[in-house]
Structure 1
Amino acid sequence: MALKHEPTAPYHSTQDALRVLETVAQHSAGATDTELARQTGLAPERLATLLRMLRREGYVEQAADGAYVTGEALRRLGSAHDRERALGEKLQQTLDRLRDSLGAAVYLSRYVDGEVRIGQYADGPATPAVNEWVDFRYSAHATAIGKSLLTQLDHNARRDHLSRHKMARLTSRTITSDKLLLSCLESQPPTVPVLDLQEYAIGTVCAAVPITAGSSVGCLALSLPLEHAHRLKQAADALNRGAAPVLLSLAI
């Protein structure tokens, strides 16, 4: 399966953050922000932003003398023992935090073996998850998640997916023409969130942003009830900005 990889802002943030972590790891006694700036080549403002994120995620800690050392979260993820459980817990913490800051249910999805799979999600009483009234595997044409994942595939892989899954009309807004959908996917900029405006379910709007780690295709998504549709664009942009910690966890 060929992929259409075009780096997004979270991808660049992740690459920079990995550079910082590698540099910190080389200094067993810790590295100051001045040393980190010099060795990574990152501008001080950029480095400060990344260090705030890395501290919040537990990947680095600041010693009493102000130097940065590797954090507990990095040690757990870097360990071969129980890494899958540590990764699942770390991702769930990040999704929970995104849910609370966005005021929306948040989902992590991947495209695995030709199918849409939602691995983890975070919802709550005030941020209910979408009612999966049609299996997400068979409704990629109508969901922000599905469209985001399909956007990251090449043309042949998209056609293959649509040939295996009939494009059923789920609401009056659902696109059921493969020609129209393929055209929409082709013209979707990778840095702009994909939207679902009541295409999957009446009363629900969604947005998704790509998170591509290595050769795997994934996305982060959120859903809001229709009465909060006015917040969708702002929430989607915030989701995009908040995607870097998820990508980083997957990349470590």
Structure 2
Amino acid sequence: MDEQKYSVPALDRANAVLTALVDEPYRWKLSDLSKKLDISKSTLYSLLATMERLQWIARDRNDAYAIGSAMGRLGGAYFRQYDLVEAFRTLADPAMRKLEESIQLAVLEGSDVLYLAKVEAPGPVQMVSGPGVRFPAHATGLGKALLAGTTEDRIRELFPEESLPKITVHTVGSREALLQEVRKGEREGYTTDIQEGVMGFCCVAAPVRASGGGVVAAVSCSMPIHRWEGKKETALREMQELAKRLSPL
């Protein structure tokens, strides 16, 4: 993909402003930033006013700028995910030992699941779901659990086509079917995928919620299909309990 083709110049300029303010808070005024960043004063004035309204930046009595409180909140959220990973590793281990199956933690990135951590059960057969791996959200129980915290309009934005790509023959094939699965997950408090992402594997997932109720992550237990019927109810209870314990860390 041509990254420049799809870039947003205003965001590039906002990033340049933030970068300038990181190391030297309350040094730069409008005229100084205009010269430093080679942005016209009229363009920069509108940009700074918008950024100040959003609390991305703050201005002192001398009209000099620094990073604003919204950046602090976003930065805090970024680092809290690492606290979440550490808590997950501790809290998921007993469930993994009880189930003798691997357990994953993930977040939603666009229309993909991004795996943050995995507590892996011993065994020769494993799903490829380690930290950093991305996978289409519509094809996973984790993805459906994460989408349960998303509005229908946002889901339609994330999946603009009615037809969804099939990862296996069992993958949800339409956006409407996905919406139905997500809403069912909202009602029941958990989601599943039965060989939808990987043939021969099933999983059950539950959402991790912030204090305000929004979904910030999800946990899942995956296992080979021949062990699914015997373990799915226990796995469901363990994932819901794990998600509850991780909320609202």
TM-score between the two structures when normalised by the length of structure 1:
0.57
Provide the rounded CA distance (Å) in 1 between the counterparts of 2:101 and 2:152: 32
**Could you say which residue in structure 2 is the equivalent of 1:199?**
196
Which segment drifts farther, 233-242 or 184-193?
184-193
Change (3 A) 1:241 1:169: same
How many angstroms does 1:185 deviate by? 2.0
CA contact (8 A) 1:111 1:216 kept: no
Residue aligned with 2:154, SS: helix
The answer to whether structure 1 residue 167 and structure 2 residue 164 are counterparts is yes
| Structure-2 residue corresponding to 1:70 | none
| Partner deviation per Cα, 1:169-214 (whole Å, 9 max, x = no partner) | 1111111111222233233344432010111111100010111114
SS in 2 for 1:181: helix
The residue that corresponds to 2:216 in the other structure is 217
* Structure 1 stretches lacking a partner, 5+ long: 1-81
* Aligned-partner residue type, residue 219 of structure 2: L
Given the alignment, which residue of 98, 105, 108 partners 2:105? 108
Q: 2:88 matched to which residue of 1?
A: 91
Q: Is the 8 A contact 1:139 1:167 kept in 2?
A: no
Partner Cα distance (1:127, 1:206) in 2: 18
Q: 1:175 to 1:118 in 2, by over 3 A?
A: same
Cα pair distance change 1:95/1:164, threshold 3 Å? farther
Aligned 1:182-193 pairs, distance under 5 A: 182-193=179-190
Q: Is the radius of gyration larger for structure 1 or structure 2?
A: 2
**Residue aligned with 2:209, SS:** coil
Asked whether the 8 Å contact 2:148–2:215 carries over to 1, the reply is no
* Aligned counterpart, 1:226: 225
Which deviations, in whole Å up to 9, do the C-alpha atoms of 1:100-156 show, x marking residues without a partner? 122211111122466522111110323854135xx9645211110111111221101
Aligned length: 167
Q: Against the structure 1 CA distance between its residues 180 and 86, is the aligned structure 2 distance closer, same or farther, given a 3 Å change threshold?
A: closer
Stretch deviating more after TM superposition (157-166 or 216-225) = 157-166
CA distance in 2, matches of 1:234, 1:208: 12
Query: What is the percent sequence identity of the aligned residues?
Result: 23
* Distance in 2 between residues matched to 1:119 and 1:211, nearest whole Å: 13
State the Cα deviation string for residues 34-57 of structure 1 (Å, max 9, x = none): xxxxxxxxxxxxxxxxxxxxxxxx
The code of the aligned residue for 1:243 comes to: A
Question: Does 2:135 align with 1:142?
Answer: no
Mapped to 1, the partners of 2:220 and 2:154 lie a distance apart of: 22
Cα distance in 2 for partners of 1:185, 1:84 equals 24
Rounded to whole Å, the distance in 2 between the matches of 1:246 and 1:104 is 19
For the aligned residues, what is the CA RMSD? 3.0
SS of residue paired to 2:227? helix
Which range moved further: 156-165 or 89-98?
156-165
Q: Which moved more, 1:186-195 or 1:232-241?
A: 186-195
CA distance in structure 2 between the aligned counterparts of 1:86 and 1:211, rounded to whole angstroms: 13
SS of aligned partner of 1:172: coil
Residue identity in the other structure for 1:96: D
1:245 aligns with 2:242: no
Q: What is the CA–CA distance in structure 1 between the aligned matches of 2:126 and 2:159, rounded to whole Å? A: 26
Instruction: Return closer, same or farther for 1:94/1:180 CA change in 2, 3 Å cut-off.
Output: same
Name the aligned partner's letter for residue 235 of structure 1: A
Inter-partner Cα distance in structure 1 for 2:162 and 2:118:
24
Q: Cα gap change, 1:247/1:181 in structure 2, threshold over 3 Å: closer, same or farther?
A: same
Per-residue displacement from partner, 1:65-115 (whole Å, max 9, x unpaired)?
A: xxxxxxxxxxxxxxxxx9876654333111222211222111111224665
**Relative to 1, partners in 2 of residues 1:124 and 1:238: Cα closer, same or farther, differing over 3 Å?**
closer
Which amino acid in the other structure matches residue 198 of structure 2? A
Conserved 8 A contact 2:145-2:206? yes
